[in-house]
């Protein structure tokens, strides 16, 4: 399992989390190479289908980052994400998708260090879990 490089899809909201990732890059912090970022306008815009599609296409983990509660550019979008995330996470556990593979957190535009910490933690956890293999015929 030494060679296993987890493939993580990160859905980042345009206003906070994406700027946070940007600020990490500008500060030349080391961002794990495993994370592939998809910029969305709001964490509340993400459809649970996107998460499943990512797992289906080979993601070992899916990360959702939005604005801190109360800071949403659209007022309530991140609460919406929090609600469907809670429901989808428990649903996915029944599919055998472990907790560490599907993470939601809040990152503000200035929290480059938090972005790096979350992604590194996720990579470490998923390395221990191993690759995600879909059901075979």
CA distances from 113 to 2, 33, 106, 136 (A): 26, 16, 12, 39
Residue 86 in contact with other proteins, rule: CB under 8 A: yes
Residue 69 in contact with other proteins, rule: CB under 8 A: yes
Residue 79 in contact with other proteins, rule: CB under 8 A: yes
Residue 1 in contact with other proteins, rule: CB under 8 A: no
Are 103 and 61 in contact by the 8 Å Cβ rule? The answer is: yes
Contacting residue, 25, 29, 52, 109, with other proteins by CB under 8 A:
52
For the sheet with 8-13, list strands across it. 35-40, 8-13, 61-66, 102-106
**How near is the Cβ of 100 to other proteins at its closest, in Å?**
13
Are 41 and 13 in contact by the 8 Å Cβ rule? The answer is: yes
Residue 64 in contact with other proteins, rule: CB under 8 A: no
- Where along the sequence are the contacts to other proteins (CB under 8 A)? 47-49, 51-53, 55-56, 69, 79-80, 82-84, 86-88, 90-92, 94-97, 130, 132-137
């Amino acid at each position: 399992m030494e060679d296993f490089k987890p493939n993580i899809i990160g859905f980042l909201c345009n206003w906070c989390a994406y700027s946070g990732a940007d600020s990490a890059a500008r500060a030349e912090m080391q961002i794990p190479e495993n994370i592939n970022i998809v910029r969305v306008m709001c964490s509340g815009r993400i459809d649970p289908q996107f998460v499943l599609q990512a797992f289906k296409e080979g993601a070992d983990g899916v990360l959702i980052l939005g604005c801190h509660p109360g800071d949403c550019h659209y007022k309530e979008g991140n609460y919406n994400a929090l609600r469907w995330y809670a429901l989808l996470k428990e649903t996915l556990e029944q599919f055998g998708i472990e907790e560490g593979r599907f993470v939601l957190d809040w990152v503000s535009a200035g929290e480059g260090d938090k972005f790096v910490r979350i992604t590194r933690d996720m990579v470490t956890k998923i390395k221990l879990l191993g690759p995600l293999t879909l059901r075979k015929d």
